[in-house]
Structure 1
Amino acid sequence: MRASISRLWRWLRRPSAGVAAGTLLGAGFIAAIVFAAGFTGFVEYTNTMPFCTSCHEMREFVYAEYRESPHYRNNSGVSATCADCHVPRAFVPKLARKIKATFVEVPSHLLGRIDTPEKFEAHRGRLAESVWAAMKANDSRECRACHDPMQMTLETQKPRARARHLDAQVSGETCIDCHQGIAHKLPARPEAAEEEDFTL
């Protein structure tokens, strides 16, 4: 075994005399395609509902709330998945989001930081604020992938919603400034302010 590894290592290090450069390039090209396809396939798999709900924190604490929301079940029959709201569609921002999940969220899961309802509720506010801040920073990019304010039929909206949407176009507010708690319960807030109804 050791001799085989030694021979392989010597072969890898010596200049190619027995293998044509075209063969090496072709093999490298095919290997790159296989790697890219596998990588892309895995990244896309991590955007699926089965993957998102594979850990009990998401399945038991978050998914149950989402299933009661209009993003899951509604008159039009169109559902927004976890990835639709939490993962950018463009490749580079998507990759950045996946890297953050890998180095921030997965370790939290493995360390059991939110593995009980009590722990999850204790962190809900911080988690929500983090998501809202990211959405605010990117002008609610994931919302706008489905909802185009310029295509809204404002005249059919309730007066309050119409007024807020018109005002937001002028003031520069973004979707998440008003539409928090659409798919998940809002965190407990110190003030007992009554929630406004911004349904369309």
Structure 2
Amino acid sequence: MKALWNLLRRPSVRWSMLSLLSMGFIGGIIFWGGFNTAMEATNTLEFCTSCHEMRDTVFAEYKQTIHYSNRTGVRAICSDCHVPKDWTHKMARKAKASFEVWGKLVGSIDTPEKFEAKRMTLATHEWERMKDSNSRECRNCHNFDSMSPTIQRSSVYRKHMEAKAAGKSCVDCHKGIAHQLPKEYRDPDE
């Protein structure tokens, strides 16, 4: 009985290490679950439109597009276009997005007028990000190889195949597909 009491009172190094590893493992699962849940919560439409800058400007514009309402009933939400799916790129994007939140906190885009004054800068940053990733988020739903010559109009299909052959990114031709173009925007092809 005394040996059992000593074991319970003062566990061996082996049992201490096992306890430490078990607690670390369980703690890691809890941390990762909480972290992942928080990350996914910031990818919801409700989160993205919780501030008036988004709700009253770009969200209102987006609601008028085919990405919001279409014959198939498939709806793309903010994170479908603005947040990569894979973990590494998602974390990098979330880190950059924290600077956008900073803009809201310090008041640089907290009114419609301030937002419109920065729209070209904000759009340019997003277009550059999309160009650098070869429109990775667009290609989650749209893929040149899946485009049908019998369903698309022939002129549209031809343009898509020309864009594919030229190595163009979706954003090269489709700026303003979900949001208004900035007043200062000039199409380089015009």
TM > 0.5 fold call: yes
Q: 1:49 to 1:18 in 2, by over 3 A?
A: same
Question: Cα RMSD between the aligned structures?
Answer: 2.0
After the TM superposition, which residues 89-100 of structure 1 pair with which residues of structure 2 at under 5 Å, given as runs?
89-100=85-96
Q: Choose which of 21, 34, 38 in structure 2 pairs with 1:42.
A: 38
2:19 counterpart of 1:51: no
Q: When the two structures are aligned, how many residues end up with a matched partner?
A: 178
Q: State the Cα deviation string for residues 13-57 of structure 1 (Å, max 9, x = none).
A: xxx969721111101100000000000010001000111111111
- Percent same amino acid among aligned pairs? 49
2:25 counterpart of 1:29: yes
After the TM superposition, which residues 102-117 of structure 1 pair with which residues of structure 2 at under 5 Å, given as runs?
102=98, 104-117=99-112
TM-score with structure 1 setting the length: 0.83
Unpaired runs of 5+ in structure 2? 1-11
Q: Choose which of 133, 137, 157 in structure 2 pairs with 1:138.
A: 133
Aligned partner of residue 125 in structure 1, secondary structure: helix
2:61 counterpart of 1:65: yes
2:168 counterpart of 1:173: yes
Q: Give the equivalent residue in structure 2 for 1:128.
A: 123
Flag as ranges the 4+ runs of structure 1 deviating above 2 A: 16-19
Unpaired runs of 5+ in structure 1? 1-15
User: 1:112 Cα shift?
Assistant: 1.0
Residues in 1 aligned to 2:133 and 2:32: alpha-carbon distance in whole angstroms: 27
User: 1:154 Cα shift?
Assistant: 2.4
After the TM superposition, which residues 148-159 of structure 1 pair with which residues of structure 2 at under 5 Å, given as runs?
148-159=143-154
Q: 1:138 to 1:35 in 2, by over 3 A?
A: same
Q: State the Cα deviation string for residues 114-171 of structure 1 (Å, max 9, x = none).
A: 1111111111111111111110110000000111110100233223312211111111
TM-score with structure 2 setting the length: 0.88
